[in-house]
Amino acid sequence: MITYFFVKDARKDPRLFCSEPPGPMPARFSKTKEVWEAAKKKLMLLPARTLRQEEALAKAVRLKDPAVTVLCGEAEEKHADLRFHFFLHKRRTQRILLLVGEAILAPFTGLIAFLPGPNIVFYALALIMITHWQSLRGIRALLAKKHEYRVDPLLSEWELAVAEGREEDYPGIIARLERAHGLKDMRKVLGG
């Protein structure tokens, strides 16, 4: 069962990530493996906070349970539900706009095919489009499910430290968060 974490990062932007460890985004194609591997390496250069969020959203498509557990730092369920739905709707709108922009750019990457060597730009754009499409499908799947919000004391402590600007407390809270939930590289995701 995947547990989702919904919390503000050090910049006070909402972040969503899941309990499953991060891994490469799944993509299988019949083109040459070297070109796809090079494009995947380019995709993996994106910031960890972006990759973890995209991956968490993409994994929502595989969820079989009708309810999703969301750990948050917000004590009032109605407020947490409102914030989470606003976050998902905002991300859905962003993904749609990004896909439209990427679809407009895709034909122009064909012009680069005249240059010698593999067309890494096309493959990287294709992987980014696939990632955004999977993320959009995951957002729609999450919006269709019932959400069970649970307040996590460590996430509450983190959000309080962020609100009060206590940057010296960030490393300790993040270390305890990683130990308590078996997470890795939270400093890269939350920015602490």
Please write the tens of the pLDDT for every residue from 30-49.
Answer: 556 666 676 677 666 667 77
Q: Which residues pair with 150 in a beta bridge?
A: 71
Total of domains in the chain: 1
- Over 99-141, what HEC string results? HHHHHHHHHHHHHHHHCCCCCHHHHHHHHHHHHHHHHHHHHHH
What amino acid occupies position 125?
L
Q: Are 137 and 58 in contact (CB under 8 A)?
A: yes
Rounded CA-CA distance 43/134 in Å is 14
pLDDT above 90 for 90: yes
Q: For the segment 94-149, what is each residue's pLDDT rounded down to a tens digit?
A: 999 999 999 999 888 878 877 776 677 787 888 889 889 999 999 999 999 999 99
The residue-averaged pLDDT of 11-29 equals: 72
Long-range contacts of 97-106 (CB under 8 A, 24+ apart): 98/132, 99/129, 99/132, 99/133, 99/136, 102/128, 102/129, 102/132, 103/129
Q: What is the pLDDT of residue 49?
A: 74
Question: Does the pTM exceed 0.75?
Answer: yes
The residue-averaged pLDDT of 60-86 equals: 87
What amino acid occupies position 61?
V
Q: Are 128 and 136 in contact (CB under 8 A)?
A: no
pLDDT above 70 for 2: yes
Domain that holds residue 30: 3-190
Kindly give the residue spans of alpha helices, DSSP state H, lying in the chain: 33-43, 48-59, 77-109, 120-144, 153-164, 170-181, 186-190
Q: Are 2 and 70 in contact (CB under 8 A)?
A: no
In this prediction, residue 175 has a pLDDT band, given cuts at 50, 70 and 90, of very high
Rounded CA-CA distance 178/28 in Å is 32
